[in-house]
Amino acid sequence: MADDDYAELVLTVVERIPPGRVMSYGAIAEYLGRGGPRQVGAVMSHYGGGVPWHRVVAANGRLVPGHEQEALRRHRQEGTPLKSDKVDMRRAVWWPEDDPAPLP
DNA sequence: GGAATGACGATAA
DNA sequence: ATTATCGCCATTC
């Protein structure tokens, strides 16, 4: 099934997000070039248990619904640019080509 | 097969 | 800044 592939792709990208940086659902979807923000969100909600899900935020900087407290705590821990209860996107938004991590 | 649903996004009021 | 609506897209009922 292709959707499992898609899920793995999403998870891979999420794992690639460096600490102190975040990526929006839409950004991930755009980067993958298929599906949409909601698909990414769906994958995260179901399969996102093994990746730094807190680094995935809504485009408006809102933290993950249902885990705001948790995500907020971790972000403070990692030094993510925060706006009180939201992420400072202007600084925190990250793009894969921004920081080409060496793939083994 | 059609309607409802959802860790979204952008815009309008 | 906050809330309300509409549009997107694939999955699920």
pLDDT at A3: 66
Find out whether A84 and A93 touch, Cβ atoms under 8 Å: no
Q: Determine what percent of chain A is predicted with pLDDT higher than 90.
A: 84
pLDDT band at A11 (very low <50, low <70, confident <90, very high): very high
Is any atom of strand C within 7 angstroms of residue A10's beta carbon?
A: no
Domains of chain A: 2-94 (1.10.10.10)
Q: In Å, what is the separation between the CA of A67 and the C1' of B9?
A: 20
Structure tokens at A103: 């793939």
Q: In Å, what is the separation between the CA of A3 and the C1' of B1?
A: 22
Residues 40-99 of A with CB under 7 A from strand C: 42
Q: In Å, what is the separation between the CA of A98 and the C1' of B3?
A: 42
pLDDT at A104: 59
Is any atom of strand C within 7 angstroms of residue A38's beta carbon?
A: yes
Does the structure show a pLDDT above 70 at A1? Answer: no
Beta strand pairing status for A56-57 and A23-24?
parallel
> C1' nearest to CA of A43: which nucleotide?
B7
Span A33-37, mean pLDDT? 92
Give the DSSP H/E element, type plus range, for residue A10: helix A2-16
> Using CA of residue A88, residue A91, residue A92, residue A96, what is the dihedral sign?
positive
Does the structure show a pLDDT above 60 at A79? Answer: yes
Find out whether A55 and A20 touch, Cβ atoms under 8 Å: no
* Bases along strand B below 7 A from a protein CB: 6-10
Query: For residue A72, what are the contacts with CB-CB under 8 A and spacing of at least 6?
Result: A63, A82, A85
- Would you call A29 helix, strand, or coil by DSSP? helix
Q: Which residue has the higher pLDDT, A3 or A47?
A: A47
